[in-house]
Structure 1
Amino acid sequence: MSRKLRSSVAAAAGLLAAALAVTTPPAQADDLVTHHEFQANCSVTTHRPDDPIVSPGLPGASHMHTFLGNQSTNASSTNTSLSSGQTNCRTPDDKSAYWFPSVYNGDQLIVPDFPQVIYYKSGILKYQDVRSFPAGIRFVVGSPTATQDQFRTAPGAVEGWECGNSSHNWDFPSYCPPGSQLNIRYQAPSCWNGRDLDSADHKSHMAYPDRTTLVCPATHPVPVPMLEFKIAFPVSGDMSRVRLSSGRGYTWHYDFMNAWDAPTLQALVSHCVNGGLQCDPRGYDQYKPQRGAALGPDYRLPR
């Protein structure tokens, strides 16, 4: 090999090595955990003045709610009826019911117009210890009677209301840039008492972790997925007439009735939450493709 050819080969090898040094992540990158979550993407199904948790069997007894996911949800819904229903969630074996107070601009109902994001995360420091929800668990997050200060200081208030560059609003912003969307992010308690699927106030069987240690309290020792609703409403401009069906923005709350196929939920919790991944509804982390997916291409558990 001539000196010139050897020089060219060496130069090419040097360029390749430099490129690999820039583009190849360090060997330990796969072990770096920054997230422990997966998404449920579900669309609006209907709007009803119903609440099958707070006012079961009493159609019309509640303020207006906007429902996501299970298409059969109404005032008389039960765990059995939900399991027989159909869902529009991206993961077809998530037949859970999700709902929240409807948003109005004056008298106009504002409807989220694309699949909304419900995160299933770890609420505790030791994300490896999070367990799947027990079948049939249900709970209410937040309160339709909350004051602004109660909403602001609640453990579940993450971002509050936001639009454009405005965030951490504990009531609706007075103005949102035209074309922007009004967003709310709010976290649920993620510690279960290990005994009750519901309670008289639909809250007491659940608790938030300690805010400093991120450990579940002794009264509620079982860590379960922490739900975080991230809902976007297509309303902008002057927000002075925007309201919830339950009142001001700080009366935001939401409800959850678990109707997942248990093995499917367990697979997503194990792979994504316990596995320290940032997953889509299929249980796939695009930043760590080598870890694979929890579910098949049809978003179902391979059987």
Structure 2
Amino acid sequence: MRIRGRTLSALLLATALGVSALSVDALTAAASAPSDAPAVRTADRSHAGHVMGASALPSADDADGDGYIPANPPVTGVTPSQAVPPPAYFHEFQANCSVTHTAPDDPIVYPGQPGASHDHTFMGNTSTNAHSTTASLTNGPTTCSAPADSSAYWMPSLYNGDRKILPVGPQVIYYKSGVTDYRSVRPFPTGLRFVVGSPAQTAQEFRSHKGFVEGWECGDSFFNVDIPASCPSRPDVQLNIRFQAPSCWNGLHLDTPDHKSHMAYPVVKPGTNDNMCPASHPVALPMIEFKMAFPVNGDMSQVRLSSGRGYSFHYDFFNAWEERTLKALVDHCVVGGLQCDTRGYDQNHPERGAVLNADHRLP
């Protein structure tokens, strides 16, 4: 049921405090600097942001500021698939994107409020800022491999002491099936946005999170809930983290006040090992998985996130793909049961061809 009204939204947001308070970043005027230069910070906001008690401001996407952005049209009448598809070990493609800028902004949690959040590192759409909307992101410039991916991706910035550590080069962002019946996965609706994890989560909540894959890792150290105190000082060693997003959608909202409740993780079908979407969120969408690499090693005792300890890691996604291209990649790679690269090509099945041409564009 859709509840409207700013007062109720504020109550819902306050209720979500510490559980679903997540970050979305934005670009300030300093984002006009070169893409490899972090924006100038006017204050230390390392623990600011994501205080969810205040209502969102009205925006082009959420005119009344109540936090609910309805899907237009909504997707209804869907029953979660319990079918068992033909065997396919992989059903994914990559949408790799490089860092664009950093800023203490959050267009999802704090729309229209530059500087309200802790610092974030942005990838993908180069125009992302506190005022970003579906319209402003659509067809925008991007650092993703496919020019059609104008989506915004961001996460808390990483520091070694006071020095900001930015990932170098394209970062791996998987789009894969989170449900057993990969044939039931459909593309993201334009304008869908959500947050994954929470800056307020405890170490145990981070470890038990449904999106937890391997935690923080470096060298031969894996499954760390917090950032390791040290890593081998070798050129080939970086700090890595992998984290998966929910992939089941309620079909009704592009966003909700807590930026989470319109999405859910798959559940296990009783009596099986098969994953399916819950009845409350019956629409299967791609499961995003961040696989980030930070160029830092050696003494890690001063390495932290702008949101706090390593277990405060979280990230945000705001979909602005060109619809035809995203559908072509999802249909060919995810629904088609392939392990695709950024062009939608599976080297183990060359006979299936590629989705995108050499310029990563849909022919």
Instruction: Tell me the amino acid that sits aligned with residue 217 of structure 1.
Output: P
3-state secondary structure, aligned to 2:132: coil
The TM-score normalised by the length of structure 2 is 0.74
Instruction: Tell me the amino acid that sits aligned with residue 196 of structure 2.
Output: V
Partner of 1:71 in structure 2?
126
Once the two structures are TM-superposed, the CA of residue 32 in structure 1 deviates from its matched residue by 5.8
Note if 1:192 corresponds to 2:221. Answer: no
Any gaps of 5 or more consecutive residues in structure 1?
Answer: 1-30
Partner of 2:274 in structure 1?
213
3-state secondary structure, aligned to 1:281: coil
Q: Per-residue displacement from partner, 1:113-145 (whole Å, max 9, x unpaired)?
A: 111010000000001110110111000000010
Partner of 1:122 in structure 2?
177
Note if 1:227 corresponds to 2:288. Answer: yes
Alignment map for 1:124-143 (pairs within 5 Å)? 124-143=179-198
3-state secondary structure, aligned to 2:95: strand
Does the aligned pair in 1 maintain the 2:139–2:148 contact within 8 Å? no
The TM-score normalised by the length of structure 1 is 0.88
Write the distance in 1 (CA, Å) between the matches of 2:316 and 2:292: 13
Write the distance in 1 (CA, Å) between the matches of 2:220 and 2:192: 37
Note if 1:285 corresponds to 2:340. Answer: no
Does the aligned pair in 1 maintain the 2:187–2:327 contact within 8 Å? yes
Partner of 1:273 in structure 2?
334
Write the distance in 2 (CA, Å) between the matches of 1:80 and 1:207: 26
Q: Is the helix fraction higher in 1 or 2?
A: 1
Instruction: Tell me the amino acid that sits aligned with residue 69 of structure 1.
Output: G
State which of 236, 239, 242 in structure 1 corresponds to 2:297.
Answer: 236
3-state secondary structure, aligned to 2:340: coil
Write the distance in 1 (CA, Å) between the matches of 2:328 and 2:315: 25
3-state secondary structure, aligned to 1:80: helix
Give the 3 Å change call, closer, same or farther, for CA 32–209 of structure 1 in structure 2.
Answer: closer
Note if 1:168 corresponds to 2:229. Answer: no
Does the aligned pair in 1 maintain the 2:148–2:361 contact within 8 Å? yes
Write the distance in 2 (CA, Å) between the matches of 1:104 and 1:297: 36
Query: Bigger shift: 172-181 or 48-57?
Result: 172-181
Note if 1:108 corresponds to 2:108. Answer: no
Instruction: Tell me the amino acid that sits aligned with residue 112 of structure 1.
Output: P
**Runs of 4+ more than 3 Å apart:** none
3-state secondary structure, aligned to 1:265: helix
Partner of 1:52 in structure 2?
107
Once the two structures are TM-superposed, the CA of residue 213 in structure 1 deviates from its matched residue by 3.2
State which of 235, 239, 242 in structure 2 corresponds to 1:182.
Answer: 239
Does the aligned pair in 1 maintain the 2:245–2:287 contact within 8 Å? yes
RMSD over aligned CA atoms reads: 1.0
Write the distance in 2 (CA, Å) between the matches of 1:226 and 1:232: 19
Any gaps of 5 or more consecutive residues in structure 2?
Answer: 1-85
